[in-house]
Structure 1
Amino acid sequence: MSIGSLGIKVGMSQIFDEKNACIPVTLIKIGPCIVTQIKTVASDGYNAIQLGFSISQNHNYGLKKLGSTKALQGHFKKSGASKCHYLKEYHVNQPEDFELGQSFDITNFSSVQYVDIRGKTIGKGFAGTVKRYGFGRGPMTHGSKNHREPGSIGAGSTPGRVYPGKRMAGRLGGKPITLKKLTVLRVDQEENLLVIKGSVPGKPGNLISLIPSIS
């Protein structure tokens, strides 16, 4: 019964296979997550499981946490869970298979070969069109003053405006992205670490969501 989990990106490392080939990997600390709410078609219009995830005070990665309101305290009290810092819903087909207060840890991925990972990419601030979209630059010599400028952004009197969606300078990164079918190389149950082949979105300490891939 695998529905997914929340975790923290620890960082990147490398391992060697039986042929001594170097493989870049990402270490992800998984859960444990607690079922804080069960949603059904009859009560909410869809089937889903809400998981709560907390991080220790010694590992505060600077992420924005949920506030401590009376509404949230009453919500967590129904499942018998302590204060959770993050909540995430996962759609399921049979919500009756789950119970309030049920815990999910890294053993949920013990038999999983591929996972889909969703997280927020590294924010890089305001960037120009060359860095943001790979635009070509202008001449660097012969008196040219158009090196990395975007150039013309529209026609003249027709249409007399700039079309929506024009690629221009702006904020780069800092957006949610999903990478699908990433290979699970190892599952360390002692340290609650999942070893994923390749890179995952965000910097170390980033909050990410993992879902077993549908083959």
Structure 2
Amino acid sequence: MPGIIGKKVGMTSIYDENGKNMACTVIQAGPCVVTQVKSADVDGYTSVQLGFEDKKEKNTPSPLAGHFSKAGTAPKKKVKEFKDFDSSAYKAGDVITIEDVFVLGDFVDITGISKGKGFQGVVKRHGFGGVGQSTHGQHNRQRHPGAIGACSYPARVFKGLKMAGRKGNDKVKVENLKVIKIYPEQNLLVVTGAIPGAKNSYVYIEK
């Protein structure tokens, strides 16, 4: 799908034409530079590779520096391929903005890395009831998992059992968010609802 790379600015709310208050997210989307155009003849498939946000050259590995230099652009922090672009209409070095990809009313899918919550217990991670409910084997210890065994047979704990562990910091895609405002001068895109990640985290917006 054609798309663009962006950065989450934060959340706000606006009123629609019916006076209903809607939660929405503001994203700095682009501008992105075409760093490579892949073709079916050379690469076996067609796609457009985009780069977003300048990076210091001293922090860029030599192979990547050569890749960006060939495209005639400064090193970029984020690079991603998007399929279904009209690859014949772009060449390396071209700049792609919001207006080249999205219009008001489009529905988009947004991918990002969710906020990391660290190592969490079963109440926060899986929604266990704790001591207030007597369903997980414990009776006097709040927020503990309770019994996990299954008798002498099968004499082991099954894989996938809901237990304490790392929560968040996962790749998450939210689908069908509506584009409700575009500010091309500031490269800002406003979509309904929430998207994964903290403020200033990178996201990929696909049509």
Shorter chain as denominator, the TM-score bin is 0.7 to 0.9
Which residue of structure 2 lines up, in the alignment, with residue 137 of structure 1?
Answer: 130
User: TM-score with structure 2 length normalisation?
Assistant: 0.88
Which residue of structure 1 lines up, in the alignment, with residue 97 of structure 2?
Answer: 105
2:205 to 202, 206, 210: 210
Structure 2 distance, partners of 1:85, 1:5, is 14
The structure-2 alpha-carbon separation of the partners of 1:93 and 1:208, relative to structure 1 and needing over 3 Å to count, comes to closer
Residue type of the partner of 1:203?
A: A
Alignment of 1:28-107 (within 5 A): 28-55=27-54, 67-92=59-84, 94-107=86-99
The structure-2 alpha-carbon separation of the partners of 1:187 and 1:164, relative to structure 1 and needing over 3 Å to count, comes to same
- SS for the counterpart of 1:146 is coil
Structure 1 distance, partners of 2:161, 2:97, is 45
The structure-2 alpha-carbon separation of the partners of 1:26 and 1:139, relative to structure 1 and needing over 3 Å to count, comes to closer
Check conservation: 2:49, 2:79, Cα contact below 8 A.
yes
Check conservation: 1:3, 1:92, Cα contact below 8 A.
yes
**Identity rate of aligned residues, in percent?**
38
Structure 2 distance, partners of 1:112, 1:97, is 24
When the two structures are aligned, how many residues end up with a matched partner?
Answer: 202
Residue type of the partner of 2:118?
A: G
| Structure 2: 5+ residue stretches without partners | none
Q: 124-133 or 85-94: which moved more?
A: 85-94
Structure 2 distance, partners of 1:179, 1:92, is 20
Q: Report the alpha carbon displacement of residue 93 of structure 1 after superposing the two structures with TM.
A: 6.7
Check conservation: 1:139, 1:146, Cα contact below 8 A.
no
Check conservation: 1:122, 1:203, Cα contact below 8 A.
yes
2:116 to 117, 123, 141: 123
Which residue of structure 1 lines up, in the alignment, with residue 4 of structure 2?
Answer: 5
| Structure 1: 5+ residue stretches without partners | 58-65
Structure 2 distance, partners of 1:86, 1:121, is 17
Structure 1 distance, partners of 2:85, 2:192, is 29
- SS for the counterpart of 1:160 is coil
